[in-house]
Structure 1
């Protein structure tokens, strides 16, 4: 019986961690506008899918879709980053991945449906 309770507890912890990673916003990261984009030492990383990026392109951004960010993060030239995202879940996941690899995320820009 104790093994059953332990298994249920571990399963609940995994579910809570997955929920936290996706839906809880990263603290201290602010939304930036195009007016704030004057710095030349900041990399702009567009994590939208290819078809979303083609509809509303950002000329200064490096385009690395979110699923490829884990293995292509070395292509980002500067350690200070502004992330261009399509929605709040992509925002949370991409910011956490970049912070894990040592990037300093200065902010995010929402292309469409971010809250």
Structure 2
């Protein structure tokens, strides 16, 4: 096999591995449907965080959610209890996934 072809093949495999890992669910981070979230909102033993910007949060929010923007989350995890599950939302799901990973690394069980 030509060394140039081998290098290109390895590069493609490496890129595919990175993409696959990025979208693979992280251990301790679970997804929840909107319908299931509605029933969870009644549970006072859970924490609900909206990681959108303050402007986005003010313009459209769900009652019961606390706004901690994703950019501030690493510095404000001390406001959350490790003993309670955390439900995280955003606009499209990308920021909530990132936030769930941050919280999971801090020892919290999260849903997004």
TM-score range normalised by the length of the shorter chain: 0.5 to 0.7
Q: What residue number does 2:44 align with?
A: 40
Structure 2 distance, partners of 1:73, 1:19, is 28
SS at match of 1:98: helix
SS at match of 1:67: coil
Structure 1 distance, partners of 2:52, 2:38, is 17
- Unmatched 5+ stretches in structure 2: 1-6
Structure 2 distance, partners of 1:58, 1:28, is 20
Could you tell me whether the CA contact under 8 Å between 2:41 and 2:64 is conserved in 1?
no
Report which of the two has the higher share of strand.
1
| Residues 31-72 of structure 1: per-residue CA shift (max 9 Å, x gap) | 333233221110101101111101112332221000111111
Distance 1:25 1:49, change over 3 A: farther
Q: What pairs up with 1:5-44 in 2 under 5 angstroms?
A: 17=18, 20-21=21-22, 23-26=23-26, 28-31=30-33, 32-44=36-48
Distance 1:13 1:49, change over 3 A: farther
Q: How many residues align?
A: 98
Does the alignment pair 1:76 with 2:80?
yes
Q: What residue number does 1:104 align with?
A: 109
Task: Name the TM-score, length of structure 1 as normaliser.
Answer: 0.66
